[in-house]
Chain A
Amino acid sequence: DTGVSQNPRHKITKRGQNVTFRCDPISEHNRLYWYRQTLGQGPEFLTYFQNEAQLEKSRLLSDRFSAERPKGSFSTLEIQRTEQGDSAMYLCASSLYGTSSGELFFGEGSRLTVL
């Protein structure tokens, strides 16, 4: 297993368009997290899953954002009607729930630029 994989790595879109990001976690990991990070800031929690169940979604997240993990494996994050304020790095991380460590393993991120 090569770790957490995110695609695309870079996405440039025009305001008002929809974008979708994909995350493939480490295969045995049952927890999957989405974070948003802007330049010079810490990761801001968006949502996370245990298997296919979405356990929590940030109240800061508008209804334009939706995430799925249909079979408890890969996940997608969709942003509808993008705005310039959505420009950021979108980070995916996975972990194995039930272990004492709780370490998050991060992907390299998907950078979104909204023109």
Chain B
Amino acid sequence: AQTVTQSQPEMSVQEAETVTLSCTYDTSESDYYLFWYKQPPSRQMILVIRQEAYKQQNATENRFSVNFQKAAKSFSLKISDSQLGDAAMYFCAYRSDGGYQKVTFGTGTKLQVIP
């Protein structure tokens, strides 16, 4: 079974600075997808960024980028120019490419943005 581990329960960053959230995962599959989801306080979860395992190039979405290290099974999220609206819980998630494609989440990292 696949597992997703987020070892940083809480992180803080100064507004306009850069922060990196860590995620590792365990799988025996070669094809899969990785995601970072954001859950603001009392609001629904939304997708931040997605990475296909077969792509070597790291995904980027505006201020958000990932560092995908397939061999190390590591998938970190970098947030540049942090904004107050970035404060939220961030969840790393894994999905198989084949089979039933169940999505497995990590335990989350709570990000605090300091003005």
Contact = CB atoms under 8 A, between A and B. Distances in A.
Q: Do A and B bind each other?
A: yes
Nearest to A47: B102
A4 B47 CA distance: 14
B102 A45 contact: yes
B108 A42 contact: yes
Interface in A40-70: 40-45, 48, 55-56
Given A100-B52, A102-B95, A103-B35, A41 B107 contact: yes
Give the dominant DSSP class at A's interface. loop
Contacts of B103: 33, 45, 93, 102, 104
Contacts, number: 56
Give the dominant DSSP class at B's interface. strand
A92 B50 CA distance: 20
A100 to B, nearest CB: 7
Given A41-B107, A42-B107, A108-B43, A102 B33 contact: yes
Interface of A: 4, 31, 33, 35, 40-45, 48, 55-56, 91, 93, 97, 100-104, 106-109
Given A40-B110, A43-B45, A45-B103, 11 more contacts: A41-B108, A42-B6, A42-B105, A42-B107, A48-B102, A91-B45, A101-B50, A102-B33, A102-B103, A104-B35, A108-B44
